[in-house]
Every structure is written in structure tokens, then in C-alpha cells.
Amino acid sequence: MDEAHFLALALRNPVNVAIIEELHRLAVPDAWLVAGCLAQTVWNVLTKRAIDHGISDYDVFYFDPDTSWEAEDTVIRKLHARLGHLGAKVEIRNQARVHLWYPDKHGLPYPPLKCSTDGIDRFLTQNTQVGVRRSGNGYEVYAPHGFGDIAGLIARPNRAPNFSAANYATKAERWKTLWPEISVIAAE
């Protein structure tokens, strides 16, 4: 699967398209639709399931040097107001703030990031290390490991510094229940 094929399949989900378009309209800085909602949409197309089967939420990353909770809350409220009609759970996080709350929430260190793609690089699985945003008249895709695991229905651990084998096992177990066709690579 190449980038164009991945993008064509991921954009079959109208919620993905609506979120990407709204991020562009609002000019949210360094904003990407990321992770499972993209990979899982492709899995759903490949396995002939409903386009939104198993997608629990839609993750948006953006990067704003203003790390105040108030600034992030303003972006979250604005996007929720603009996207509420979709009936989907949209999770919005300023990647410039993650290091402030991640250690308390997950008990693992998390260094300050420099951009949104740094956050994508830290996902638990390689197949979810993907992001899409509008760029000019088209789209920009970020996928540091390519699309092989998405096309091959493979869940593979990403050994980022904040990797948690327990969290990976929980995520992989949920996915295997929803998409029995996937292959899960053990975290060892």
C-alpha cells in the first residue's frame, strides 16, 4: 500500500474528512488527525466492515507553544462546538503540553516535544503512527513506518521511550476482538 492508496481508504470515513477540513479552516497550528481512526478506517474497508466499526475516538494533535491549560481548553471547546454535529468522540491535545501531565497519568517519563509529529512517533503501535492534514489543495501524510502494517492488518509494538507492554497488550486485545483478522506481534 502506498500513500495515495492509504489516503484514499482513510478518507472514505466522512468523520475523518470533516475533522481534517475543520482543522484547516480554523488554522489550528501544526494540527493533524492521527492514529487509530485512520488505521482502523482502512482496516474496516479492507475487511468490509462498517466504516466506523470499532473506532472509539478520533484523535487530533496540534502544537501551540502556549502550554496553559486555558489555551488548550479554548481550542478543545472551539473544535467540539464545530464538530459536535458529527456525533463522534474527538480527543484534542496540544502536544506542547503532554510532558506536563503524562508522567502523573501514566507513571512514565515524557520529554517536551517540538512538534505534533514528535507525539505521533511515541504511539504504542507502529500501525497507528500516522497522521493526515490538509496542505494546500491536497493532503500531507506523516507515516514514519509506512503503510505495511496497516495494509497487512498487523499490530506491532513501537519501542518509544514511553512504551508500556501492559498498555500495548490491552490495546492489542481490544483490537483482536474487533478485527479478528489482525496479527498481533508480541511485545516480548
- DSSP for 122-173, written as a single string: T-SBGGG--EEEEETTEEEEE-TT-SHHHHTTEE-B---TT--HHHHHHHHH
Cα separation, 24 vs 176, in Å, equals 34
Whole-number pLDDT of residue 52 = 97
Question: In a structure prediction context, what are the per-residue pLDDT tens digits for the chain, which is 188 residues long?
Answer: 999 999 999 999 999 999 999 999 999 999 999 999 999 999 999 999 999 999 999 999 999 999 999 999 999 999 999 999 999 999 999 999 999 998 898 888 889 999 999 999 999 999 999 999 999 889 999 999 999 999 999 999 998 777 888 889 999 999 999 999 999 999 87
Calpha distance 38→131 (Å, rounded): 8
Question: For position 165, what pLDDT does the model report?
Answer: 86
pLDDT score for 173: 95
Domain boundaries, the chain: 3-184
Contacts of 117 (CB under 8 A, 6+ apart): 32, 131, 142, 144
Triad 92, 142, 99: Cα angle to 5°? 45
